[in-house]
């Protein structure tokens, strides 16, 4: 099966890409989805300005993947881990771990591509 790939053009996701918080502050948690609704899930592949790609999950415009993503296989050096916070602006927040410490990096998102999951 080949999932259908689309380019995100929605203003909600576009604004989440543009809206970037201060890199020295932890992102604010995003809104809680309405109970009882099962919004469609999509994988969002983000390409950072350094050319590294990461994957986050978005449901109803809210980023859901708050677990660390191992980025070694994406070409990052030193076994750096990446995570995106559950926040409307999470696509603009990139956090890396060096040893036991987390560092917020003001890395601009260059592009986003969404892929609908087949559930």
**36-68: per-residue pLDDT in tens?**
433 344 444 444 444 545 555 555 544 454 333
Q: With a threshold of 0.75, does the pTM exceed it? A: no
Q: How far is CA 78 from CA 48, 53, 59, 82, 105, in A?
A: 18, 16, 31, 12, 16
Could you give the angle at the alpha carbon of 88 between the alpha carbons of 85 and 92, nearest 5°? 65
- Rounded to an integer, the average pLDDT of 17-38 is 44
Q: What is the pLDDT of residues 64-112, one digit of tens each?
A: 543 333 333 333 333 333 333 333 334 444 444 444 444 444 333 333 3
Contact assessment for residue 27 and residue 94, using Cβ atoms and an 8 Å cutoff? no
The residue-averaged pLDDT of 10-16 equals 39
């Amino acid at each position: 099966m080949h999932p259908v790939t689309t380019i995100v053009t929605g203003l909600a996701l576009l604004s989440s890409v543009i809206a970037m918080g201060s890199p020295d502050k932890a992102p604010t948690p995003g809104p809680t989805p309405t109970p009882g609704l099962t919004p469609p899930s999509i994988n969002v592949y983000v390409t950072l300005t350094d050319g590294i790609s990461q994957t986050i999950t978005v449901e109803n415009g809210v980023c859901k993947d708050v677990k660390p993503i191992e980025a070694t296989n994406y070409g990052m050096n030193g076994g750096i881990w990446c995570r995106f916070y559950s926040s409307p602006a999470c696509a603009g927040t990139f956090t890396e771990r060096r040893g036991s410490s987390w560092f917020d990096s003001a890395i601009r998102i260059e592009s986003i591509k969404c892929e609908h999951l087949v559930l």
